[in-house]
Amino acid sequence: MLIANMLPLLTRYSLGFDLVCGPDETVTLTIIPRKAEGADQHLAPGESRPISITASAAEIDAELARGADGALGQLIASRKTLADQIAEQREAADAARASAAEAAKAKAMTPRPTPTAPAAPAPAPTSPPVSAKPDEPASLW
């Protein structure tokens, strides 16, 4: 019955168990999630971190019998959700970084218009105006 209740978890993970007897009839169960054979996805480091439960044997049996609805199933699901969120954030950051690099590269490749030099002032006329008389100075008005 225990294995049948663990089947939903076993479809994604291969689970390793380590049991240690403690004082006062307590048991420490360490569960090590591993990638299931033939699984397409790799496990994130948070998903594959060992989980330790210390309680009486009856309490551990009752919790494991709940399968995916129990504390172990919820913990693994939470780790999976967090791992998915981290992966999405990394993908978004990588995409933003690549987009910014492409924009900077495109900006560097765009030819910049060269500023035109201001027009030089017109040279002062060297010949006297038509109305000038040879014996009088030229007038500005």
List CB contacts of 33: < 8 A, sequence separation 6 or more. Answer: 13, 14, 15, 43, 47, 48, 49, 50, 51, 76
Consecutive H or E run containing 54:
strand 51-56
Q: Return the pLDDT at 21.
A: 92
| 29: DSSP letter | E
Does position 86 have pLDDT exceeding 90, yes or no? Answer: no
Q: Is 109 left (phi over 0), alpha (psi -120 to 50) or beta?
A: alpha
Q: Which residue, among 11, 54, 65, has the nearest Cα to 29 in the 3D structure?
A: 54
Choose between 26 and 13: higher pLDDT.
26
Q: What percent of the chain has pLDDT over 90?
A: 9
Q: Is the pLDDT assigned to residue 100 strictly greater than 80? A: yes
Mean pLDDT, to the nearest integer, of 116-140?
Answer: 69
- Name the residue with higher pLDDT: 133 or 1: 133
Provide the whole-model pTM: 0.49
Asked if 17 and 30 count as a contact pair (C-beta separation under 8 A), the reply is: yes
Contact 56, 27 (CB under 8 A): yes
Mean pLDDT for 44-73 is 79
pLDDT of residue 95: 92
- Work out the mean pLDDT of the chain and round it to a whole number: 77
The predicted structure's pLDDT at residue 126: 66
Mean per-residue pLDDT, 80-90: 79
Q: How many angstroms separate the Cα of 10 from the Cα of each of 29, 42, 54, 134?
A: 17, 15, 22, 115
